[in-house]
Structure formats: structure tokens, C-alpha cells
Amino acid sequence: MEIISVPCAGDQGESSGSIECTSDYDDRGFAAYCSEPDKTRELRNNNKRRSDMNIYIIRHGETDWNAQRKLQGQADVPLNEKGRRLAALTAEAMKDISFAEAYSSPLVRAMETAKTILGSRDIPIIQDNRLMEISFGSFEGEEMKPENPRLQGNGFMNFFTAPDQYIAPTGGETFLQVCERTTQFLEELAARRDLEGKNVLVASHGAAIKGMLSSLYLTDISDFWHGGVHKNCAVSLIRVKDGQMTLVEDGKIYYKDE
């Protein structure tokens, strides 16, 4: 299986696709173009000739750090045995989907999940840095628990409970930064006219996926998690048709929840 690495637009100093890299978020962190969380949004500069495709977005399988509640961020942690099993069960449920292209975060847990889902399909996996997980900077590897003294008194514990008040650690990313890079990726993919009528696989991470979906239902950054982080190997389906992106399925799992 071929692996292709594609630098994000920021690495090249210019946009790598047909969508200009501009922020759609106002200074409060709201998705300025989405007035209601109806899970449907018209593509920018739509001329009704946009791609008609299905985009399957999957969160990676479980890792030991997931099980230990450690902050992974962009640390390169592989799947554990359970994670590989969940990916295999999901792959079996998706075996009849014909994928035209596949994209993944370059982190090994996402890549391994993508490879498992694709199985014997002979298509390359295109790595894109914009699909990487939110960076926790200096806090990566820390245990996410209230009694951890490093996480106290600095706004970090608002990550899940009050994302509008979250303060990124040194070297880390804000929710706004994640929303900007992931929605740019999604916009570029949805604008691909050569993928009309095709299925595309995208393997990514918990916060990165929520950032990607933010353009479809986020009106206030306080609702960033919108029902909670997706379970490992949960699949979301975005349908692109007649110049609109619609979230058809949100965080569907294909295994018995434990």
C-alpha cells in the first residue's frame, strides 16, 4: 500500500488547493458562517458544480494512552490490542464501500486505522498534517485527571467542560487553530470535482474531527464537543451534493460498546 505525504498549505506558504486559506471564525471563536447548527452548509463560492461525494471520517482505534487517560496530542502513540480489534470490526462493517481516495493524519494510530479499514483495497493513503490531533505542547503525556497538579490553575481543565475558556499550554494549539486547519482540509476535499460520485476515507483524531465538523454545526466554541468526543473507530459521514455538505451520520460505531 502506497503512502503519500502532502505538506499542508502553511508549510508551502500558499494554498495547496482551490480554496483560499482564510478564517471563517470571528474574534469570539464562533463559526461566523453557520447561523444554526442544522448540520448542513453550502460550500463557499458555490456554483452548483461542486463534487457529489461521500466522505467517511473515522477516529483512530484505542491506544494505551487513551486507556490511561494520558494527553496524546501529536505524540506518536500506536494502537493497542483493543484498538486493532475495534479497527478490524469496523473494517468488516465497511468492507463493501468502494473508496476512491484515502487520507490520514501522519500519526501512526491514524495511519494504522486507515490501513486496517482499507484492507486489500489497492489505493494509496495520502498523509496530511492538517488532520493531526490538537497539540497539547508541553502537556503531552500528562494524565488527564483533576488531581494532576500540572493541569491546575492554568485554564487547561476547561478543555472538555468549558472549551470557550480553555487556555492552551506552552507550544499547544487553541480550538480555533484546529478548526481553521481541519475545515480548510474539508473544504478543499469537498470542492474536488474529480471525486463526483465517489467515496473518500479520512482517518483522524478526536478533537481534529470535531474541528472538521465545526463548520457544519458549531455556532459557539462552548459547544465545540457537541455531544462529546467520538468513541474510538467511530465513523461520521458527510455527503456533498448540489454544492452542500450535510452531516448524515455523526460518530457511528460498528461494534458493541463496552
In the chain, at which residue ranges do the beta strands (DSSP E only) sit?
3-6, 40-42, 53-59, 99-104, 125-128, 199-204, 235-241, 244-252
Among the listed residues 60, 101, 112, 173, the single catalytic one is 60
Please state, in angstroms and rounded to a whole number, the distance separating the CA atoms of residues 133 and 44: 25
Q: How many CA atoms lie within 13 A of 186 on its CB side?
A: 34
- The burial class, CB within 10 Å (0-12 / 13-18 / 19+), for 96 is exposed
- 60: annotated active-site residue: yes
Distance CA 57, CA 225 (A): 16
Query: Which residue of the set 62, 101, 112, 133 is catalytic?
Result: 133
Tell me how crowded residue 69 is: count the other CB atoms within 10 A of its CB: 11
CA distances from 109 to 139, 174, 245 (A): 19, 22, 27
205 classed as catalytic: no
C-alpha cell at 78: 500506536
Active site residues: 60, 133
